[in-house]
C-alpha cells in the first residue's frame, strides 16, 4: 500500500505592487519538495498572470478571499510555508496553532518569529540578526538558495567571457519604475554594444510602449522577451556577457549562470542581498537605481570581471535543493 504524502501549504501573494519575488522563490522550493510531499499553493485574489505562472509548475492551487479561509483548511499534520511581509507574529501564532510545523521564508529579519524554521538565502544575515524561538532552525545563506532547478544546474558550470558586447536586462516581474527602459536608453548610447537581451515579467505595465521603443532602435540587436520559464531564462543569460539586474531573486539567478553583474536595489528589502554581493566582490554595485553613469560602471566592471566571475563560481554548489528537502523530511 502506497504511503500518503504529507501536505505542505505554501502561502504567498504576488501582484504588480508586491512584485513576483516571493512567488518565484516559493515555487522554487515547491520544485524541491513535490516528489516527497503533496504541495498546495494558497493565494489571495490572484490575477490570471499569477495563476498561469503557478499552473505551469503543476501544483494545486487554493484561492482564498480572507486569511481565516486559509486557517480553516489546515490540520495538525500539515506543514505551512509563509513568504511575505504581512505574516507577522500574531499571524504566525495562528498558523502554528492550526498546523504541525511552520516554516518562514524571509529576507529582512525585522520581526519576532514564531516558527520551526527560517530560510533566508541572503549571505549577509547571521543567527544573531534573528529574534526567534530557541527551537527555530535557521537555514541561512547561499547554501540554502531558493533557485529554480535549471539555475541550480547552471551553477555547476564555469564560464569564460573575454569580451563584453551582449547585455542582459531584467528588473523582475513588475518593474513599476520602468528601470528597464531607462537602462536601455543609456545602453544604446555606449560603444560596442552589439546585442541587448531584455526580459520583462507578467506584472510589467509598460509592455506596449517598450515594444514600440525597442522596434525603433537601430544601434544594436534588441531581443525583448516576456514571461520566460527558468530554462529559457538560463539560455538568455548564457547568450549575454553582462547582466544588469536588481539585488532580488533575479540577481541570484544571474549569479548562478556565472556572468558579470551590475546591480543595485530598488526597494529596501533588497539591501541585505545587495550588501552581501558587494562584500564578497560578486558584483559591481551602483547603490540605488536608476544607474547614473552606465558607461563608467561598465568600464570599471570590465577591469574586475575575471575575479568577479571566479568568486561567483564558488557561491552555489547546486545542492541547496537536497539540503532543503532533507530539512523538511526531518520536520
Looking at residue 45, its pLDDT comes to 87
- For cell 517598450, what's the residue? 210
Domain boundaries, the chain: 7-147+318-330, 151-313
pLDDT bracket for residue 203 (50, 70, 90): confident
Looking at residue 3, its pLDDT comes to 66
Q: How far is CA 178 from the centre of its chain?
A: 18
- With a CB cutoff of 8 Å and minimum separation 6, the contacts of 101 are 79, 80, 116, 117, 331
The sign of the torsion formed by the CA atoms of 297, 302, 308, 313 equals positive
Q: Confirm if 157 and 258 have CB atoms less than 8 A apart.
A: yes
- Top pLDDT among 56 and 18 is at 56
**CATH superfamily of this structure's domain 151-313:** Glycogen Phosphorylase B; (3.40.50.2000)
Q: Confirm if 16 and 174 have CB atoms less than 8 A apart.
A: yes
CA angle 113, 108, 30 (to 5 degrees): 75
- 151-313 shares the fold of 7-147+318-330: yes
Please write the tens of the pLDDT for every residue from 3-53.
689 999 999 988 767 678 889 999 999 999 999 999 999 999 888 888 888
The Cα 249–Cα 273 span in angstroms is: 9
Looking at residue 82, its pLDDT comes to 98
Rounded to the nearest 5°, which phi and psi values hold at 200?
-120, 155
- pTM for the model stands at 0.92
Which range has the worst mean pLDDT, 12-21, 62-71, 233-242, 291-300? 12-21
CA angle 159, 237, 200 (to 5 degrees): 165
Inform me whether the pLDDT recorded for 55 exceeds 70.
yes
CATH number given to 7-147+318-330: 3.40.50.11190
CA angle 186, 281, 266 (to 5 degrees): 45
Please write the tens of the pLDDT for every residue from 152-189.
999 999 999 999 999 999 998 889 899 999 999 999 99
The Cα 193–Cα 92 span in angstroms is: 49
- For cell 547603490, what's the residue? 287
Amino acid at each position: 500500500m502506497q504511503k500518503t504524502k504529507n501536505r505542505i501549504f505554501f502561502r504567498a501573494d504576488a501582484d504588480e505592487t508586491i512584485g513576483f519575488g516571493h512567488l518565484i522563490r516559493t515555487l522554487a522550493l515547491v520544485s524541491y519538495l513535490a516528489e516527497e510531499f503533496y504541495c498546495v499553493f494558497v493565494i489571495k485574489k490572484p490575477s490570471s498572470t499569477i495563476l498561469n505562472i503557478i499552473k505551469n509548475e503543476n501544483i494545486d492551487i487554493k484561492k482564498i478571499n480572507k486569511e481565516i479561509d486559509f486557517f480553516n483548511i489546515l490540520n495538525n499534520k500539515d506543514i505551512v510555508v509563509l513568504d511575505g511581509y504581512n505574516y507577522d507574529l500574531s499571524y504566525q501564532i495562528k498558523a502554528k496553532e492550526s498546523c504541525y510545523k511552520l516554516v518562514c521564508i524571509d529576507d529582512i529579519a525585522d520581526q519576532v518569529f514564531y516558527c520551526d524554521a527560517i530560510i533566508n538565502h541572503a549571505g549577509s544575515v547571521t543567527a544573531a540578526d534573528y529574534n526567534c524561538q530557541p527551537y527555530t532552525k535557521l537555514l541561512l545563506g547561499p547554501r540554502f538558495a531558493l533557485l529554480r532547478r535549471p539555475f541550480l544546474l547552471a551553477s555547476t558550470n564555469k564560464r569564460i567571457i573575454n569580451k563584453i558586447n551582449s547585455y542582459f536586462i531584467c528588473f523582475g516581474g513588475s518593474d513599476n519604475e520602468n528601470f528597464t527602459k531607462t537602462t536601455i536608453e543609456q545602453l544604446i548610447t555606449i560603444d560596442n554594444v552589439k546585442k541587448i537581451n531584455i526580459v520583462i515579467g507578467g506584472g510589467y505595465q509598460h509592455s506596449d510602449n517598450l515594444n514600440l521603443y525597442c522596434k525603433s532602435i537601430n544601434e544594436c540587436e534588441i531581443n525583448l522577451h516576456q514571461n520566460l520559464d527558468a530554462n529559457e531564462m538560463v539560455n538568455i543569460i548564457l547568450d549575454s556577457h553582462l547582466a544588469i539586474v536588481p539585488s532580488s531573486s533575479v540577481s541570484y539567478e544571474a549569479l548562478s549562470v556565472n556572468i558579470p553583474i551590475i546591480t543595485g536595489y530598488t526597494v529596501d528589502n533588497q539591501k541585505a542581498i545587495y550588501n552581501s554581493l558587494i562584500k564578497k566582490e560578486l558584483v559591481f554595485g551602483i547603490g540605488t537605481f536608476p544607474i547614473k553613469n552606465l558607461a563608467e560602471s561598465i568600464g570599471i566592471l570590465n577591469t574586475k570581471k575575471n575575479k568577479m566571475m571566479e568568486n561567483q563560481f564558488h557561491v552555489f554548489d547546486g545542492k541547496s535543493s537536497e539540503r532543503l528537502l532533507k530539512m523538511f523530511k526531518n520536520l
